[in-house]
Amino acid sequence: MSTIAVLGTYDSKGHELDFVARRIAARGHVPLRIDVGTLEPPVVTPDVPREAILDFSGVSDRRDRGACVAAMAAAVPGFLAKLAAEGRIQGVISLGGGGGTAIGTAAMRALPVGFPKVMVSTLASGNTAPYVGTTDIVMFPSIVDVAGLNRVSRLLFSRAAGAICGMVEAPVEVEEARPLVVASMFGNTTACVNAAKEILEKEGLEVLVFHATGTGGRTMESMIGSGMVAGVLDVTTTEWADELVGGILGAGPERLAAAGKMGVPAVVAPGCLDMVNFGEPSTVPARFAGRTFYHHNPQVTLMRTTPAECAELGRILAEKVNAYTGPVTVLLPLRGVSVISAEGGPFHDADADAALFEAIRSRVSPHVVLRELDCTINDPEFARACAEALLAQMRR
């Protein structure tokens, strides 16, 4: 028997949340009704009143409604994470419209990957990225407004209750723990990462690969920041090209930061910094007319970075790794940072590559190990060098 948090605003959605709680109880689990409302008194008595969360937040003036709402939104994530860490809940479900979804998913994002979390929302059929973030929240479209119980809402709320119960009940096979390594990959660095991954796995490591598509980079950074990661193979730093130039796959200014903050051994390479990503050709901004493009597929258009952009990218990469507190090695593949930038490829540009490499080598701090290899990023020699450098750092 598990305890499942039923989190929401029990003043405006109390009857709907209680309906879900009773469906959970019918499956043999214990519902824990947590009230995050701040307007009127709850219409259903919760197990955890809003005052407990406001106490957790440290707010003393309960007369200021705005302050209470802000405090609630800020305190719920830590409050729920504490319950989960103490083993007092094994899953969480919430219902809501705009406000309820914002509060519910903020709380869920504070929970670890794999912890069962379901959000039934009026916003589930649109852009859910602001709510899900880099976590594994399951969002259920409510179809009708989350206001009142009717034949449609009863059906969907019952299914959602069944889903969270099933997630909690599902057995999880946990294999013997191995040190965890994260790696960044793109289609243009797949050969490198796959070869390095094979070497690392033969040494008893578990390797998680993240596709460098913006979300992938942010998720990898989040994983590193969680403390679960023992080593970082960040050979595909292409998201910084999109971040700098204005492509669609930027991962934000914190990309390449987590490993430094956590002091995790890392190997970094300028993989795919030769390209900026856009969608179909018609989506490329007019200001880039005349640039060099490559049509990766009908939905993806790549644009070659210029020498000036590459010099700036080299500066950014160097500044990021200079801040690393753990052992870090930067490897430069002098004959090409992607499949298509190698000699004879559509993105081959010796001047741009030279600007990138010179910016890196002239700016990295003495504590950063810098190696230059006379090969492309996808040559077996480069993959082996990446894996061996990371292994050596992790053995220190």
Check residue 113 and give its pLDDT.
84
Residues 25, 133, single domain; the answer is: yes
Check residue 227 and give its pLDDT.
87
- DSSP tag of 287: G
Does 20 fall in a domain?
yes
Check residue 114 and give its pLDDT.
87
Check residue 273 and give its pLDDT.
98
Residues 129, 266, single domain; the answer is: no
Does 175 fall in a domain?
no
Does 386 fall in a domain?
yes
Q: Which residues contact 334 (CB under 8 A, 6 or more apart)?
A: 353, 357, 372, 373, 374, 375
Sign of the CA dihedral with 357 first, then 362, 365, and 366 last? positive
Check residue 381 and give its pLDDT.
98
Beta-bridge partners for 185: 211
Residues 70, 8, single domain; the answer is: yes
Of 136, 169, 202, which residue constitutes the final position of a domain? 169
Structure tokens at 15: 């009857």
Residues 145, 223, single domain; the answer is: no
Does 88 fall in a domain?
yes
Residues 241, 114, single domain; the answer is: no
Q: Which of these, 38, 84, 33, lies nearest to 57 by C-alpha position? A: 38
How many domains does the chain contain in total?
A: 2
What is the CATH number for 211?
3.40.50.12030
Of 134, 169, 204, which residue constitutes the final position of a domain? 169
Does 344 fall in a domain?
yes
Instruction: Profile the chain (396 residues) by mean pLDDT over runs of 10 residues.
Output: 94 94 97 90 94 79 66 89 95 92 92 92 87 90 90 95 96 80 96 98 96 94 91 98 97 95 97 97 95 92 98 98 97 97 96 98 97 98 98 93
Domain with 39, as residue range(s), is 3-169
Check residue 63 and give its pLDDT.
62
Check residue 155 and give its pLDDT.
96
Residues 281, 328, single domain; the answer is: yes
Q: Which residues contact 79 (CB under 8 A, 6 or more apart)?
A: 52, 53, 56, 107
Residues 252, 363, single domain; the answer is: yes
Residues 156, 279, single domain; the answer is: no
Residues 317, 269, single domain; the answer is: yes
Q: Which residues contact 329 (CB under 8 A, 6 or more apart)?
A: 266, 267, 268, 368, 369, 370, 371, 389, 390, 393
Check residue 65 and give its pLDDT.
63
Check residue 226 and give its pLDDT.
84
Does 174 fall in a domain?
no
Residues 224, 293, single domain; the answer is: yes
What is the CATH number for 81?
3.40.50.12020
